[in-house]
Structure 1
């Protein structure tokens, strides 16, 4: 058996890990908290002991948040403007508040997903065989 075959057989499931990370749960057991405070990643899972201190989320969650919020709100802004023609101040107020609220909602969830993806793909020290 080659090393590639051995690694392929031990792949961690990506989608369940992403869903657990989005919920802010440990990608390994799905129970322990992944984040504390707002965006701080726990050093390890309190439930299963999985180590998270070596994650490298960096700016990825912020870029993904901007990407998602921009692609959701820009078409919605156009539809609202073309359909109802609200005053500019009303349009600005509603969409500024919407963008801020959606960004604050998505940012920790996307950070959890990025850390969970790194765990599932054994990136940045999540490979226990090394």
Structure 2
């Protein structure tokens, strides 16, 4: 009696799976999502608050129910803030130092204080924009 063999075709199962997948989900426009994220609002509806505390993202939007805790923002918002602050503060420091005769002791107090205040003001909007970017592009856990 002849043995029956099953031939495995590479890629055939993924082709069959692709043929039976449901229709693509609704589009999530990037621009409005990031604008909502910068304001600390839900990227889906723009109404509900994204944050429960300073940098703690809400589990879900209180208005539309969209899950927001699926993000993986990690350290990226901090990198963006540091990069932006470097590009803002360094030219400002050079210009102020060239135009005004501020004593070095005052500058040693002014610039770090300004950097900390600006970083604290920028981190939440940047994190909101990163979460909105991930939501819009269906990255991380957003499907």
Q: TM-score, normalised by structure 2?
A: 0.81
Normalized per residue, the structure richer in helix is 1
Q: 1: distance between equivalents of 2:26 and 2:99?
A: 52
- Structure 1 runs of 4+ with >3 Å offset: none
Gaps of 5+ in 1: none
Q: Which has the higher contact order (CA 8 A, sep 6+)?
A: 1
- Give the CA RMSD over aligned residues: 1.7
Of structures 1 and 2, the larger Rg is shown by 2
Instruction: Give the corresponding residue for 2:103.
Output: 87
Say if 1:23 and 1:112, in contact at 8 Å, map to a contact too: yes
Counterparts in 2 of 1:1-130, with a 5 A limit?
7=24, 10-127=26-143
Q: 2: distance between equivalents of 1:58 and 1:114?
A: 10
Gaps of 5+ in 2: 1-17
Deviation of 1:12 after TM superposition, in Å, equals 1.1
**How many correspondences in the alignment?**
123
Deviation per residue, 1:3-40 (Å, 9 max, x gap) = 9xx65x84311111111101100000001000111100
Say if 1:24 and 1:112, in contact at 8 Å, map to a contact too: yes
